[in-house]
Amino acid sequence: MSTTRQNKVARLVQRDLSDIFQKNARSILPGKMVTVTTVRMSPDLSVAKTYLSIFPSNSLKEDLKKVKDHAGFVRRELGIRAKNQLRIIPELAFFVDDSLDYMENIDNLLK
């Protein structure tokens, strides 16, 4: 159960991360489109679990590794954008959101 504060910070972080990935995805993952689908904050607002949808999804493990390798850069950019709204810039934990692939698989099975 998340609090109102957690939800507000999660929306702020999601909006800023989406903008960061939109502008810098070419350098992190060339030829890929990255979408921030969900952000979940820890109760103390120190960790942000970030779920990413990466298209095309042919090498998700390698793409996720590249994003994790650039986590310091992404956190620094987040700090620049959210420095006036947040006291502590959260640590970023990245995960792959495969819900679209799952839905497509279910759809294909039902046909």
Q: Percentage of the chain surpassing pLDDT 90?
A: 73
Tell me how crowded residue 28 is: count the other CB atoms within 10 A of its CB.
Answer: 17
39-79 pLDDT tens trace: 999 999 999 999 999 888 788 899 999 999 999 999 999 99
- Predicted confidence (pLDDT) at residue 3 exceeds the cutoff of 90: yes
Per-chain mean pLDDT for the chain = 92
The whole domain housing 32 covers: 4-110
Q: What is the CATH number of the domain that holds 42?
A: 3.30.300.20
Report residue 24 as tokens.
């810098």
pTM listed for this prediction: 0.87
Structural domains in the chain (count): 1
The rounded distance, in Å, linking the Cα atoms of 8 and 86 is 11
Q: So what's the pLDDT on residue 102? A: 79
What's the average model confidence in pLDDT over 7-36? Answer: 94
Tell me how crowded residue 71 is: count the other CB atoms within 10 A of its CB.
Answer: 14
Tell me how crowded residue 36 is: count the other CB atoms within 10 A of its CB.
Answer: 21
